[in-house]
Structure 1
Amino acid sequence: MKISEVANHVNLPISTIRYYEKIGIITDEHVLRDHNNYRIYAQSIIQHLDVVKQCLAVGFTIHEIQLMIAKDGFSSKDQASIIEAKISEIEEAQKQLENSKQNLYEILKADITCEEGFGKY
C-alpha cells in the first residue's frame, strides 16, 4: 500500500506518517521496499496507526508510545499497570483544573478590577 493510501485509510497527513517512521512509531515490520526501493506499507499499518491514534486521544504522549513500542509486547498485568498510571495522571490533572476553576470563581467573587492597570486596585 502506498503512503497516500495509508494516509487516507487512517486520516493522517502524509507528513505525520513520515514523522512516525522517522521516530520509530512505525517499525520496519510495517514497511517493505519494492524493486525501485519505494516504501510499500503492509496492511497491518492500518491497525497499528489506529492504536497509536487511540493512545494519543486518551492522553499518552508520543514518547510514551515510543517506549511501549520499543518494549515489543507486554503482559496483561503490565498493560493494566500502564493504563492505571495514565488514569492516575488524568485524575491528578482533573484535580488541578478544578482548583484553578475554584480560584477563578474566588477572583470573580472578590470583584477585583484593574481599571488603573493590571495588578492595581
Structure 2
Amino acid sequence: MMRIGELAKKAEVSRDTIRFYERHGLIHSDVDAAAGNGYRIYPEDAVLTLEVIKDAQAAGLSIADITLIMGQLAAQTAEDFDAQAFLDRKIEEVNARMQAARRFLDLLERTKHALAHAPQDGLDALKEAGAGNGNRTRN
C-alpha cells in the first residue's frame, strides 16, 4: 500500500489526476487506519491501473468510456451490457484513429521533405530585397 504522493510519482501523474480518477471510480483507496490522520492509501496495482487509463486516453477513449469499460469488466455480470460488442466498437475506433494519425504523420514527413528540397532562389532574392529596404531613407 502507498500514499498518494508515492503513487503519483510511480505512475507519473499528478495528485489531482489521481483524485479525479478516484472521483470517477477508476481507482480506489482506503483510509490508513494505522496512521490515524485520515490519509488515503492505494494498492500497489493502482500504478498499473493508472497506466491503463493513460494509454486508453491516449488512444482517444473518454473518461466515460474508460469508466464504463472498467466498471463492466469488474462487475462481469451486467445483463444489459454487451462487453464484446462494446470492445469491438472501441477497437474499431482506436484503429481508425491510428490510421488517421499515420496518414497525418506521413503528410508531415512529406511536407518536411518537400520544404527541405524546395528551391531557395526565390527566398534568397526576397531576403536580399528586404535587407535593401531597410537601408532606404524616407522623405
Q: Residues 80 and 25 of structure 1: is their aligned pair in 2 closer, same or farther, counting only changes over 3 Å?
A: closer
Q: Residue 7 of structure 2 aligns to which amino acid in structure 1?
A: V
Q: Which residue of 2 aligns with 1:34?
A: 32
Compute the TM-score of the two structures, normalised by the length of structure 2.
Answer: 0.55
Q: Residues 51 and 80 of structure 1: is their aligned pair in 2 closer, same or farther, counting only changes over 3 Å?
A: same
Identity fraction in percent = 28
Q: After TM superposition, which residue ranges in structure 1, 4 or more long, deviate above 2 angstroms?
A: 72-80, 84-88
State the superposition RMSD in angstroms.
2.9
How far, CA to CA, are the matches of 1:13 and 1:2 in structure 2? 13
1:24 aligns with 2:32: no
How far, CA to CA, are the matches of 1:76 and 1:67 in structure 2? 10
1:78 CA drift (Å): 5.0
2:41 aligns to what SS in structure 1? strand
Compute the TM-score of the two structures, normalised by the length of structure 1.
Answer: 0.62
CA contact (8 A) 2:30 2:41 kept: yes
- Which ranges in structure 2 are unaligned for 5 or more consecutive residues? 77-81, 108-139
- Which ranges in structure 1 are unaligned for 5 or more consecutive residues? 102-121
When the two structures are aligned, how many residues end up with a matched partner? 93
How far, CA to CA, are the matches of 1:11 and 1:91 in structure 2? 24
How far, CA to CA, are the matches of 2:19 and 2:98 in structure 1? 33
Q: Residue 5 of structure 1 aligns to which amino acid in structure 2?
A: E
